Amino acid sequence: MDTTSNGANNTSNSPADLTVANLLKDITLYNKEKIFQAYCDRYWITPEKYNMWEVKRCFKNYAGWFPSHADFAKDYAIELEDRIPEGLEKYFDYDAFARDLLMEGSIAEMRGYYFRT
């Protein structure tokens, strides 16, 4: 049993820790629900068509939430870092890159949530 410097018991299952853990779990669940709803709205999936396959597909293709297309493109370019020579990144037009990805259908966006297609 761990004790603090004043001799009090220090356990990881204190009521405060459990409350924080439950809150984080609820936040995560809430975020997952928002992500899945954005995915369904983007692909016109109605509640009667929800199934486990769609849930798995949603989270497999989920790329993250970004405030702009350019922010998504910057993050995506970081994944491609080995392919963009150092020093050329400052010439890279992230807005145009994001626009091209959206137009060619490589990514889809709904309310800031991005999905690879």
C-alpha dist (Å) from residue 113 to 36, 63, 110: 10, 8, 5
88 domain residue, yes or no: yes
The total number of structural domains in the chain stands at 1
4 domain residue, yes or no: no
- Along the 117 residues of the chain, how does pLDDT read in single tens digits? 444 444 444 445 555 555 556 555 666 877 888 999 999 999 999 888 888 888 889 999 999 899 999 999 988 887 776 677 777 777 888 899 999 999 999 999 999 999 998
Q: List phi, psi (to 5°) of 96.
A: -65, -40
Give the per-residue SS3 of the chain. Answer: CCECCCCCECCCCCHHHHHHHHHHHHHHHHHHHHHHHHHHHHCCCCHHHCCHHHHHHHHHHEEEECCCHHHHHHHHHHHCHHHCCCCCHHHCCHHHHHHHHHHHCCEEEECCEEEEC
34 domain residue, yes or no: yes
41 domain residue, yes or no: yes
pLDDT at res. 23: 57
For residue 83, the one-letter residue type is R
C-alpha 84/C-alpha 93 separation (Å) is: 12
pLDDT at res. 11: 47
44 domain residue, yes or no: yes
pLDDT at res. 21: 60
Report if pTM > 0.75: no
- Residue 34 belongs to domain spanning: 15-116
pLDDT at res. 7: 46
**Bridge partner residues of 113 (DSSP):** 65, 110
89 domain residue, yes or no: yes
54 domain residue, yes or no: yes
68 domain residue, yes or no: yes
